[in-house]
Structure formats: C-alpha cells, structure tokens
Chain A
C-alpha cells in the first residue's frame, strides 16, 4: 500500500468526514455495515478483515463520508500522508473493544489524539466503548469509568488537557450504536442549533410529545427537539419508518421498479393510532429525511370524544409540519457552505 492509494481514498474535503479508527477486531467494519448498509448484526460475524482504507459517501442532510482505516497498520510511518488525512476530517471515532484487554488500545488512542489534535485542533474526538452487549449492567459503568480515567491520565501526561473527548457505550445488537452515531453526526451539522430551534417551535405549537428528524436509510436522527431522548421512543420511531417503507415497497409494481426514478414520487406520509391514545406520525422531508413524531393524548377531559379531538390536532400538525418543511427547504437553499459544483460530482 503506497501513498497514492491513500490519496485516492482520502475523502473530498468538501464533505463532512468521519474517520473510523481502532485496533484490529474492534468492530469497525461491522459498525459501518450495520449502520449504513442495514446489515443484520449477526451477519457481521462473517466479515473479512479490512485490508485497506475504505471510504464511503452518504448523501443525507449533510454529505457524509465515513472512512474506515484498517486496525493493524501503523499510521506514523512516513509513507502515509496522515497530516492531510487528519486535516480533512471533522470527527475521529475511535472504537475500543470493551470485551478485550483495552490497555493497548488506550495507548494507541492517546498517540492518535496527540497527533490529530496537533494537526487539526477543531477535530471532534469520539470514543466508542464497543461490544458492551457482552458485559453485565454494573460492569459497563465500571468499564466506562476506567477507560475515561485512563484516557484522561494519558492525555494529562502528554500535556493535552484541553482536548474534549466524548465517550459512548455502544453495541450493534441494540440501538445504542445509532444513538451514538446520531450524536456524532449532529456535531457535524452546522445548522443544528437553528434546526433544533425549529423543531422546538413545532413541538410547542402542535402538542407533540417528541419529534425526530431521521435519515431514512441509516435511522440516524440528525436533529430532535430539546426534550430528553427516551431510547424506547427512538426505537419505536425508527421501526415505524421501516414499517411504512416496507409496506409501501410491497405495492410497487414489478415492471415499474426499474424506472422508479422516472416516476415523480409523492411524499410518503403515515399516521397510526395507538390503543393508549397516542399517535405516531411520519412525513417525508427533503433529502431522504423523514420527520417522525409521537403525539400523546393525555388530555383526560376530552377523552370522551377522542376521535374528533385528535383529528383537529392532526390537522394543525399537518399544517405546521408543512411550514417546517418549507423552512427546511429554504434553509437548505441558502446554506451554501460548499460550492455548487461538488453537488454534481456526487449526484
């Protein structure tokens, strides 16, 4: 592997880039496959060892590249253009296998942080304490505390006190990996504060309990309102997208499947009433995004005629969500943080 190969795979600097690093067999490729390719977690057992840096593009709200580096390489050999690499990335995600001995990984991590931080002080450093599905509940907290403590000490020894390092407990067998990636991606969206503000406004005026802005393919949420995220609500909302899309796909006629691009598609919208009076609401937004909201109907006084009440609420929500979508489109047109020519390259 020589320098040219790395240069080819090096991501375009106009994309927000996430760099996935870690020791070998830490689970990096599995994470990529599960989150971005909808692979079943069990199937990742059969993945081969990654031998060269791979880079993938994901066009979502922001154009995202995820670059995965093989674990067994040493990046500080002179043949690697590591400086250029670290300069171009927005976030560095380091995967630590929590079921394995992690002291080696921590040393490796602090060397990488030291180098990356020197090259690019604006880089976000994220640490995934991975494969926690195999640890018992108490031990997870212990492991996290231990890893945080040791990393802090190492960085202190290197004289890097100001570096912000975020830690996440993750596993590909539940939704924690999506949660972690959602947080990481959110840090790279420059419009996040205004997005959150808009969603807060939507929630305040529509009696919505919780709202997510999802990327439909990866089930990562790029924004949510400011109320705390309940992991169960997130899971249900993510699965609601799957169900809506799956049902819709079943009725695409076979002959139309080929040229689906040519047919102008209507936006998908779905509403589901639950037995406890809540309502799940989904509406398609721009750029492969979907807005999913959980609407709770706790109003006891009006429960006598919940149907009519809910219909009024839904009409208001429909209107408000329409406004939100218009705003989102406007915001997107005006946010020219990358030159227009780049868009065509990946279109």
Chain B
C-alpha cells in the first residue's frame, strides 16, 4: 500500500499553501498552509504516541 502526500494533507484553498493571508497567519488553516486528512491525523497520532517508546 502506497500513501501519497495528497492522502495525508490537502493544500489550504484559502491561502493556497502559503499559510499567510494579508501577511498574517491564514485564519482558515491556522497558518499551516495544509489541512490534514483523516489518514494524515491517524498516522500523526500513531507516530506521536509511539515516538518516545
């Protein structure tokens, strides 16, 4: 099974991935420039949980 970046996150349609709007952090994505998918969140939480084991 291959997971692509697109499966994990989506470019924010408001700031087009820049993370900024009018030189301030983009209010739609909290300045991240991307929105995580369900799969992205699952992987992130799994790694966070097991990283320091």
The finding on whether chains A and B are genuine partners in a shared complex, rather than unrelated, reads no
